[in-house]
Amino acid sequence: MNLNNLEKVLEKEPKYRQKQASSAVFVNLIEDWQEATFFSLQLREELNKECPLSISAETLVSKTKDSIKTRISLKDDLQVESVLMLHQDGRNTVCVSCQVGCPLGCQFCATGKMGFKRNLDYFEIIEQVIFFSRYLKKENKRISNIVFMGMGEPFLNYENVLKAIRILNDKEGLSIGARNISISTAGITEGIEKLSEEGLQVNLAVSLHAPNDKLRTEIMPINKRYNIEEILKAVDEYIKITKRKVMFEYLLIKDVNDSDQCAEELVKIMRKPLYFLNLILYNSTGLFKPSSAKRVEEFKKILKKAGVDFSQRYRFGDDIKAACGQFAVLKDENVV
């Protein structure tokens, strides 16, 4: 799919043609310009040549059928992964990628392990959503939520991420409410600061994963550049400006960050208004093991006792490596 030439092709046409074209792509979700019968045959043929709508992707459905992973091929033959999660309460969430790979190299994350290839442009981000919108349309369903929790660090590709969000948010397009869009960051404070000035009602999530700098630096090298204190300062400022809740993500990794002492340190950080904690079970990527069920319960007990506001994330798509942190396109991997 490539709409870069759309404006050029429609240049000689009356202005309203542009609107018709974007409505065909974003609302009617056409997959071939031949479906846009309000255009002349000649124009449709030119559009198909100059602005192809087909998306080249390989798709895997999990055994439980509630998550679908796709791997989209980009124009330079790199690939990017995204996942659709069908929640029981009716929400349909797409987890999108914003980079091919990631330069931050967190120890627990498969994307981090593959290194960094390049940023996605805003349309390559939108393409992932369109792919699943088309998929759901066949079942008369639509996407309700978007999370930037796929491959890459959104705040290292800030402009494209924000441009994509504004288009996804457009009432005359896919019309996905800003309140239903979440951005997760490893703690790039400049991004947090910029986002607070955007006047957008999107949700901010921060990957914390450790309650002190020593441990956090061990598993997230980016902590050397942006430590916990600096991140919390940026978050507090964000809350002051936006009055919005911030979600802190905390992976539970066996014998790494799941001790009682870690829970107690975490309590000290989390006891602030509009701070919200989301516990995530570690999805295996090789290096570490997930905490045992017993340990998770004990960890939660300490948080509960201290009155920390938290939830636990449901695990999607483990069998198709579509769970958080399992995104990675490996050269020698067999694709179905």
DSSP-H helix ranges across 90-185? 110-113, 122-137, 158-169
Q: How far is the CB of 212 from ligand SAH (least distance, A)?
A: 17
Scored b (16 or more CB within 10 A) or e, 286-301 reads eebebbeeebbeebbe
Binding mask 223-262 for ligand SAH (x = CB under 6 A): --------------------------x-x-----------
Contact with ligand SAH (CB under 6 A): which of 108, 122, 158, 248?
108
3-state helix, strand, coil in the chain (%, to 5): 40, 20, 45
Binding residue count for ligand SF4, defined by CB under 6 A = 11
Q: Using CA of residue 80, residue 317, residue 131, residue 279, what is the dihedral sign?
A: negative
Q: Using CA of residue 48, residue 50, residue 53, residue 57, what is the dihedral sign?
A: positive
* Binding of ligand SAH by 316 (CB under 6 A): no
Other Cβ atoms closer than 10 A to 38: 10
Q: How far is the CB of 97 from ligand SF4 (least distance, A)?
A: 9
* Binding of ligand SAH by 82 (CB under 6 A): no
Active site amino acids: 81, 324
Query: Amino acid identity of 189?
Result: T
Residues 317, 284: Cα–Cα separation, whole Å: 12
Which one of the spans 8-16, 28-36, 280-288, 303-311 is the region binding ligand SAH (CB under 6 A)?
A: 280-288
Strands (E), 167-254: 181-185, 203-207, 246-252
User: Where in 159-188 is the site for ligand SF4 (CB under 6 A)?
Assistant: 186
Binding mask 125-164 for ligand SF4 (x = CB under 6 A): ---------------------------xx-----------
Residues 309, 271: Cα–Cα separation, whole Å: 8
Residues 309, 323: Cα–Cα separation, whole Å: 24
Contact with ligand SF4 (CB under 6 A): which of 102, 146, 228, 308?
102
Residues 23, 38: Cα–Cα separation, whole Å: 12
Which one of the spans 9-17, 82-90, 179-187, 293-301 is the region binding ligand SAH (CB under 6 A)?
A: 179-187
Contact with ligand SAH (CB under 6 A): which of 3, 83, 146, 186?
186
Binding site for ligand SAH (CB under 6 A): 108-109, 149, 153, 184-186, 207, 249, 251, 280, 282-283, 285, 324-325
Binding site for ligand SF4 (CB under 6 A): 102, 104-106, 109, 111-112, 152-153, 186, 207
